[in-house]
Chains A and B, each alone.
Chain A
């Protein structure tokens, strides 16, 4: 595609040129991610307050998390971020097919993460750790364990929701590439999704130690 052709196709209403549009889109994604940071911060504040109040209960609850599955998932997600970064690198040099491959691998790794998560949830619900009516855990610090698992399901659930949206976005990008979008000159959408994906990864990097590594050093 010629430069002029790309500009005609991509340049939107209020922008002077493609570079301007791309930088603006980028800034927009960063601003949006800052709102997501604050969204998760509210939950992490609740976590911090209760961990401070009930350190032993939280440690006990932490021992009931599936640390093996959680650790595998951490590896899966970090690897997916690697492939996402490779995808962006590929399109910067115009390698659209390579980018599509990397996006696909990223998405598949994301799906793997979700699969392992579902397995984890299945096990925990089986042990009676789902807060609410199905909570049957009767060991020590039961109330605190329920609060811990409430925060656990909320945090990982909302994280999984964000991840699913990210996977959807990846498939969308793959489809758009097949339709002819994204060139080395203009691929703001890919960069934007890349940023989002890395953010979702970063949230997990916070959740992992707070949830899985509690009470394991004794």
Chain B
């Protein structure tokens, strides 16, 4: 391992082991931490989203409704509404860098917590979102973390990008859901 790669690995270990937080600064969450800090974990498909104005916080929020395809932790109905700050009303937009946003028909695994104001929100902001994709060859359902936590590795003749965390680089959806179920039961 090169000196730079060693330094990056050491830094990652430090980040993961120390008290680390997100700015749109957040605490680094491994999979176990995400599961433990979440009230619910759902695998779902985005049905729709729409913005609302909240007078108390003087902020546009976006409600996203998902069809629940699986719920490995916590009890929710067949649909769940996730509410996050940010959105567009008319010709005015509010954006909170780091806060996840969703597209209709997108399939995702979400780590969620019950927040104040009777809102359900995403744990660890973008860390709590995994995009679900289908492998064209095997038809496996694979996961891609939303957080772009990658580094470029330079090799002799080429460079490529690798995920620093293997928690869900190309992890299979079924494996992740099983892991979540087992940890949720054991806790």
Partners in one complex: no
A residues with a Cβ closer than 8 A to B are none
